[in-house]
Amino acid sequence: MLEIQERFDTVGYEGLTERAGSSELHITEALDAGGVIGFIAYSYGAEKTTVYDYDDGGELMLCDGLVRSVMLKSVLKGISHMLFELDCDDKYEELKKLRFLRGESRMCSDLDSFMNGCQSCGKKKE
């Protein structure tokens, strides 16, 4: 069964800790049968959440779940923007496919509206 859980340490993610610099790095992992099958690494700021990396094992839907989990946490903290600072250009293409990003932008804005977008989709079906 797939679970998405935040870690409370950064053991094994030291390279990402360096990229986060002075920001406190958070790691959320995707687990299946107790084994890690993906992760997302990020930090919270006053105005935005910064994502440094993610690994979805090539599963687009896992990417969607990992990013949305961090979006939800950000919205709950009153943060409305998410900046992606990734090393791999292919990962930006995945984020564009999922409509988290548009064009050459690396910022997803208005997270609250983005997270509530599916509510209006349900109303259209009624």
- What residues does each domain of the chain span? 2-125
| Distance, CA of 96 to CA of 115 (rounded, Å) | 16
Q: How many CA atoms lie within 13 A of 4 on its CB side?
A: 19
Each of the 126 residues of the chain gets a pLDDT tens digit; together they read 899 999 999 999 988 988 888 789 999 999 999 899 999 999 999 999 999 999 999 999 999 999 999 999 999 999 999 999 999 989 999 999 999 999 999 999 888 876 675 544 544 444
Six token digits for residue 96: 């564009």
CATH architecture designation of domain 2-125: 3-Layer(aba) Sandwich (3.40)
Closest CA relative to residue 94, chosen from 51, 123, 124, 48: 51
State the angle between helix axes of 111-125 and 60-76 in degrees (0 to 180), rounded to the nearest 10. 110
pTM assigned to the model: 0.88
